[in-house]
Amino acid sequence: LGMLRHMSATCEEPPREKKPEEELSKPVVHPEAGPASLKHLVAAYGDLIKLRLSGLVVLTTMAGYAVAPGQLEVSALLWTSLGTALCVASANSFNQFAEVPFDSQMKRTSTRPIVKGVLSPLHALGVGLGTGLAGVTMLYGLVNPITAALGAFNIVLYAGVYTPMKRTHIAKTWVGAIVGALPPMMGWAAATGELGAGAWVLGLLLYAWQFPHFNSLSWNLRGDYARAGYRMMAVTNPRLCREVALRYSVLMTPICLAAPVLGMTTWHFALDSTVLNAYLAYSGYKFYRDPNEKTAKRLFLFSVMHLPLLLILMMIHKKRSKKAH
């Protein structure tokens, strides 16, 4: 029986091994291929534009609109959110197009759609161009020129400056923080037509938040980053990585205090935000003094909760004019 099974197995034609060029040039799966293929394609696009990260960015834009003075206009908020989402999708598509050789070397990025051959690099480039053009045009025509200019600038900054800097200098972290700071400013500009003092407070808040968030994330992934040749603080200067995370964790408190001083919120926000920021600073201090996987993860996880809670408190304590009431 064993010999028969062996003879049967050896008679079967072995599966043809795909050549690398065939895999990379594989066309995008068409919807006609069936429901499973359509689901697979939608998931690939979601991975290409980093759907969850894009959702968080759009939420900060909506928060910037909601905190800004004036009445809420639902249509303007929707166009702002959609235009921002398209700009974010564009920047992320360009980013993945540029980083294919390096993504394949990292465990956390090795399943991205271009690396796996689900989408071709040229297709991803087309998505970046299409969504970028659509997003900026939408913001310009249906919101205002300032918001459109910020959206276009952020695409260029992320894809054209931040992405190539990742392999050359740790200063890219500060550039990336600017990228994260602009979306709430876009929301403010969409609501008011200008970049007032409140817009800069929101921008500073998001700018400072990036460092405890990203530095703690990169700490537990530094082996992956080093393997792909990325210049991360956690890899090239671990002490600076921890110092910067702590420094900006502490700076969150005075930045938040500027909100009631400038009349953006009531003083209740100062009290509530100080509690959140105090724990962020404490987590940053623990990470600084005892850097390990546990303290880094604790700081990262709290930063994920910290930002939405802070923005919700800012909206709750927004200072409304008597006319609005």
Task: State how far the Cα of 131 lies from the Cα of 90, in Å rounded to an integer.
Answer: 5
* Helices and strands per DSSP (H, E), number in the chain: 17, 0
Q: Using 50, 70 and 90 to split pLDDT, how confident is the model at 250?
A: very high
Q: Using 50, 70 and 90 to split pLDDT, how confident is the model at 325?
A: very low
> pLDDT over 70 for what percent of the chain?
87
Query: Are the C-beta atoms of 27 and 57 separated by less than 8 Å?
Result: no
pTM for this structure?
Answer: 0.83
pLDDT of residue 322: 57
- Chain-centre distance of CA 147, in angstroms? 18
Q: Which tens digit of pLDDT belongs to each residue from 41-73? A: 888 888 888 888 888 899 999 999 999 998 889
Residue 15 burial (C-beta neighbours within 10 Å; 0-12, 13-18, 19+): exposed
Average pLDDT on 192-216 reads 96
3-state secondary structure of 28: coil
What are the CA-CA distances from residue 6 to residues 9, 16, 279 (Å)? 5, 20, 65
Evaluate if residue 199 carries a pLDDT over 50.
yes
Average pLDDT on 279-299 reads 96
* C-alpha closest to that of 90 among 2, 163, 143: 163
The most confident of 91-105, 110-124, 210-224, by mean pLDDT:
210-224
What is the chain's mean pLDDT, rounded? 86
Average pLDDT on 257-279 reads 95
Task: State how far the Cα of 194 lies from the Cα of 278, in Å rounded to an integer.
Answer: 32
Q: Which tens digit of pLDDT belongs to each residue from 65-86? A: 999 998 889 999 999 999 999 9
- Chain-centre distance of CA 1, in angstroms? 59
Please give the residue that has the higher pLDDT: either 162 or 319.
Answer: 162
Looking at 1-15, 104-118, 232-246, 296-310, which range is the least confident one?
Answer: 1-15
pLDDT of residue 108: 77
Paired residues of 265 in beta bridges = 318
3-state secondary structure of 118: coil
pLDDT of residue 17: 44
Token reading at 88: 């974010």
pLDDT of residue 19: 44
Evaluate if residue 103 carries a pLDDT over 70.
yes
Query: Are the C-beta atoms of 66 and 132 separated by less than 8 Å?
Result: no
